[in-house]
Amino acid sequence: MGRTVAQKIFDAHEVDRPEPQIRVLSLDRVFCHEITTPIAINDLVVTGRDRVFDASRIKAVIDHVSPAKDSKTAVQGKTLRDWVRRHGIKDFFDIGDNGVCHAIFPEKGFVRPGQTIIMGDSHTCTHGAFGAFAAGVGTTDLEVGILKGVCAFHDPKTIKVEVTGKLPEGVYAKDLILSIIRDLTVNGATGQVIEFAGDAVAALGMDGRMTLSNMAVEAGATCGICYPDATTVEYLWPFIQKEFPSREAALAEYSRFLPDADAQYSKVVRIKAEELVPVATVNYKPDQVKAVSELAGTRVDQVYIGSCTNGRIEDLRVAAQVMKGKHLAEGVRCIVSPATPLIFRMALAEGLMQIFMDAGCCVTNPTCGACLGMSNGVLAPGEVCASTTNRNFNGRMGKGGMVHLMSPATAAATAVAGTIVNSPLFKGGR
């Protein structure tokens, strides 16, 4: 019987099967940040197990609260910093070199097709954009990953989401994934893997694919996988050119993890890209999605452009294109947070920062901060935020605040208008 991508990766990594449905996998990567790792580190220390399975496979970053905002977050950073030094973990990104984990780790070339990756962060599914099996886990799974290099998963079922055709102008990966979550619901892919297939997905760059995979977990999925192709290889080429004689050879190797033609899917969802429009969330669940036109006129207090979903260079380019020569509406504030220092530098070099600052935006250093209401843009009760992030849960960006999730284009247009509105890049006229 044919195998899905996740099944092929599981087959290549299985070290134990304690019962037929449970597969213990060896891990190629364990990613760590300063919020969920310190408690694992402290537990390892207290129980006399302060070891790591392989320092070269562990990558760490301070990103959630950066720089530290108070003594507690300073201690979290210090715990991680001391630990990486103690164990010789070389790939550690401290204040100044740090970016949002799911942007900086791919950017550094750490993610490859066919890998197994865990991190104490639910949006680890982002790395599925490279054809890897990447899953968010809790602190205990992380602790065992650090110590033993293994993690247990249920044998995965897979949903195939096939997007054919061409996205209309002004409709982006964010609109696509929000539309998919609306159709699947927040419980529709629970415990399953999603494969994103079709020519509309293949046409996306890596930034767009990461946006897509990033929100797979909002439908409950363990991982959202895009198929490795020439676009993937091109992105990875600076990091893999010593491993392969040619791009074609790299692609041939990575193609081992493409699904078989007769792979078994629990469900196949077919979407016509042409029918999509810009969308945004309402209320407190990411599957509560409406066309932006239906929300037109909704007043906002804050706009946030950034995060592991939409803080990459393609996102900033689109937002800047919409904001160029314009100014924020009166009474609206806008925070732009490039997801990594490299993205920040590119945005500077391309003049995007000038556009944002001329428009009256606050540009911050890379951090997760505002997305989860921890720092750098927390909402007051009753405030409304148009946001390019991934969760609109009650209180997510601050107690009593309301978050509308949307694409960078829609967010930028909303910042200029002061109310939720379609960007001028969308010509659909709905």
Partner 1 sequence: MKEFNGKILFLDRSDINTDEIIPAKYLTEATKAALKPYCLEDLILEGFDSKRDLAGKSVIVTRANFGCGSSREHAPWVLECNGFNLVIAENFARIFRQNMYNCGMIAAELPAEKIDEMFRLFAGTDAELVTDLEKKTFTVTGGGKTRTYDFTIGSFDLELVKAGGWVAYADKKY
Interface contacts to partner 1, rule CB under 8 A: 15-16, 18-19, 21-22, 24, 35-36, 38-39, 42-43, 47, 49, 64-65, 70, 72-73, 75-76, 120-122, 124, 135-141, 143-144, 147-148, 150, 152, 154, 186-187, 190-191, 220, 222, 284-285, 372-374, 391, 393-396, 399
Would you state the structure tokens that stand for residue 254, as one six-digit string? Answer: 């990575």
Helix (H, G, I), strand (E, B) or coil at 285: coil
Q: Shortest distance, CB of residue 293 to partner 1, whole angstroms?
A: 26
From 211, 200, 206, 246, select the one nearest 228 (Cα to Cα).
206
- Give the nearer residue to partner 1 in terms of CB position, either 307 or 414: 307
Q: Shortest distance, CB of residue 28 to partner 1, whole angstroms?
A: 16
Would you state the structure tokens that stand for residue 320, as one six-digit string? Answer: 């800047």
Alpha helix stretches (DSSP H) within 270-407: 292-295, 307-310, 313-323, 341-349, 352-358
Q: Shortest distance, CB of residue 162 to partner 1, whole angstroms?
A: 23
Would you state the structure tokens that stand for residue 306, as one six-digit string? Answer: 């950034």
Residue 128 · residue 159 · CB < 8 Å:
no
Q: Tell me phi and psi for residue 407, to 5 degrees.
A: -75, 160
Taking the C-alpha atoms of residue 30 and residue 53, their distance in angstroms, rounded to an integer, is: 10
Q: Shortest distance, CB of residue 141 to partner 1, whole angstroms?
A: 6
Q: Shortest distance, CB of residue 303 to partner 1, whole angstroms?
A: 20
Taking the C-alpha atoms of residue 219 and residue 181, their distance in angstroms, rounded to an integer, is: 6
- Give the nearer residue to partner 1 in terms of CB position, either 143 or 207: 143
Q: Shortest distance, CB of residue 31 to partner 1, whole angstroms?
A: 12
Taking phi over 0 as left and psi of -120 to 50 as alpha, with beta for the rest, 325 belongs to left
Q: Shortest distance, CB of residue 387 to partner 1, whole angstroms?
A: 14
- Give the nearer residue to partner 1 in terms of CB position, either 180 or 353: 180
Residue 147 · residue 53 · CB < 8 Å:
yes
* Torsion over CA: 147, 148, 149, 155 (sign): negative
Q: Shortest distance, CB of residue 361 to partner 1, whole angstroms?
A: 24
- Give the nearer residue to partner 1 in terms of CB position, either 145 or 366: 145
- Give the nearer residue to partner 1 in terms of CB position, either 41 or 204: 41
Q: Shortest distance, CB of residue 237 to partner 1, whole angstroms?
A: 32
Q: What is the CA radius of gyration of the chain?
A: 21
- Do strands 14-19 and 22-26 pair parallel, antiparallel, or not at all (unpaired)? antiparallel
> What are the start-end ranges of the E strands in 155-276?
158-164, 193-197, 223-226, 267-272
The Cα diameter of the chain in Å comes to: 63
- Give the nearer residue to partner 1 in terms of CB position, either 55 or 75: 75
Q: Tell me phi and psi for residue 170, to 5 degrees.
A: 85, 5
- Give the nearer residue to partner 1 in terms of CB position, either 231 or 283: 283
- Give the nearer residue to partner 1 in terms of CB position, either 79 or 231: 79
Q: Tell me phi and psi for residue 164, to 5 degrees.
A: -110, 155
- Give the nearer residue to partner 1 in terms of CB position, either 222 or 307: 222
